[in-house]
Amino acid sequence: MRLLTTVLFLFVTSLVYAQEDLLEELEKQQGEQTDLTLQTFKGTRLINGHSVETKPGGALEFIISHRFGTLNSGSYNLWGLDASTIRLGLEYGITDRFGVGVGRSSLDKSFDGYLKYKLLHQASGAQPFPFTMTLLASAQYKTNKSGADEALSSRDRLSYAVQALLARKISSGFSLQLAPILVHRNAVDQDLFVNDLVALGIGGRAR
């Protein structure tokens, strides 16, 4: 009888300790959450290019962008100011991760549109991830009818680009982005350019 009581006591004690360990583990797992890194950049644009950020779902933004000429153009062109191009654009967030945009630029009198999707999100905590990745696909149609562009067909006026935007918020005051891009132009001057162009953009934010 005493042996049976001892065995039962040890069995119940082990169950209690096992239950306490399980509860502690569950509380630990529930207490550790995944925190998404916010505001890698302050907006959807990084200078004249895109950043990894997307518009919040339902948000619409009107953007006016300027790109000036070169400083070495001299005082006659006001050091690039007279050679500036302007783009008017609309950006809309369909969801927090997926957005679209359209625009019109004075360069080649072109119209453009894009699709943008945030595929991966930098995070810390239970499921950490080291960087944010956003995919971008765009198309452009130039309507300029002067000079060599006058004889272009509708197909030859089109160009396309695909881009992977990779960024990491290294600290609260510093973010870095890499932006490999592939551009395809249907028609180019074969003596000067190629149809397919691969490039790498680098940008950052510091405060």
Q: What is the pLDDT of residue 1?
A: 53
SS (H, E, C) 107-150: HHHEEEEEEEEEEECCEEECCCECCEEEEEEEEEEECCCCHHHH
17 pLDDT more than 50: no
Confidence of residue 19 (pLDDT cuts 50, 70, 90): low
Average pLDDT in the chain: 86
114 beta partners? 101, 138
9 pLDDT more than 70: no
Residue 160: other Cβ atoms inside 10 A: 13
152 pLDDT more than 80: yes
Q: Which one is predicted more confidently, 6 or 58?
A: 58
Write down the number of H helices and E strands in the chain: 1, 12
What six digits make up the tokens of 72? 């070495």
- DSSP label at residue 56: P
Q: What is the pLDDT of residue 51?
A: 96
Q: Which residue from 83, 194, 193, 188 is spatially nearest to 142, judged by alpha carbons?
A: 188
78 pLDDT more than 90: no
Q: What is the pLDDT of residue 23?
A: 56
- Given CA atoms 122, 128, 129, 135 in this order, what sign does their dihedral have? negative
Confidence of residue 79 (pLDDT cuts 50, 70, 90): confident
Confidence of residue 82 (pLDDT cuts 50, 70, 90): confident
Q: What is the pLDDT of residue 26?
A: 56
Q: What is the pLDDT of residue 84?
A: 80
11 pLDDT more than 50: no
6 pLDDT more than 70: no
Output the pTM of the full model.
Answer: 0.79
DSSP H or E stretch at residue 13: helix 2-31
Q: Which one is predicted more confidently, 179 or 72?
A: 179
Q: What is the arithmetic mean of pLDDT over 11-18?
A: 44
Q: What is the pLDDT of residue 24?
A: 65
- Given CA atoms 68, 70, 74, 76 in this order, what sign does their dihedral have? negative
- Contacts (Cβ under 8 Å, ≥6 apart) of 180: 163, 164, 166, 198, 199, 200, 201
Name the amino acid, one letter, at 134: T
Q: Which residues of 46-84 are buried (b: 16+ CB within 10 A; e: fewer)?
A: beeebbbbbbeeeeeeeeeeeeeeeeeeeeebeeeeeee
Q: What is the pLDDT of residue 92?
A: 98
